Amino acid sequence: MNKENNLNLQCPVCHMMVNKDNFFLDYQQRRFLFCSQQCLQNFKANPHLYVGRPAVPAPAQQGHQIIKIRIIKPGTLLTDEQCYVIENEIKQMMGIRSLQVEPDFISITYDLMQVTVEQIETAIEDTGNRIDKTLGELLKHAFMNYVEETELVNLEDSAEIHKH
């Protein structure tokens, strides 16, 4: 077996080609390589989304996305400048599909296959802390007690019965 050839695999989370084993995980007797720490964390959080059983491909293997939307209310009015900083920071994250930051609410649409709730929560808190420590805590609290979560597509539940 040629070891070199084995190190040229697709990241199971974002499908990028990976040829370094900086980030890897052994799962179901296979070694998976990841392009980044974020993809590795995602995989660890929900491995069944990315690797199915022989007869049942995982949602990611069928090219699916799991789109979720979360609307949070900061509990205080954000200034235009704060909105700008928060928007710029969060939209750079992998897996964010759309983002709206207004003085009284933040709406985030994301692909659960590419980004976890914990990663978004951490990013929001970090961004808030950079503006003001109190704001960071407020945003984190608001995110954890989000007012609405709508699942536009929930393939996690239907993956078992969904066949092409």
DSSP code at position 21: -
Task: Check binding of 13 to Zn ion (CB under 5 A).
Answer: yes
Per-residue binding letters, 36-65, with Zn ion (x by CB under 5 A)? ---x--------------------------
Instruction: Supply the minimum distance, in Å, between the C-beta of residue 67 and Zn ion.
Output: 18
124-131, long-range: CB < 8 A, 24+ apart? 124/72, 124/86, 124/90, 126/89, 127/85, 127/86, 127/89, 127/90, 128/86, 130/85, 131/82, 131/85, 131/86
Judged by CB, which is closer to Zn ion: 40, or 106? 40
Which of 23, 33, 35, 64: binder of Zn ion (CB under 5 A)? 35
Task: Check binding of 11 to Zn ion (CB under 5 A).
Answer: yes
Positions touching Zn ion (CB under 5 A) are 11, 13-14, 16, 35, 39
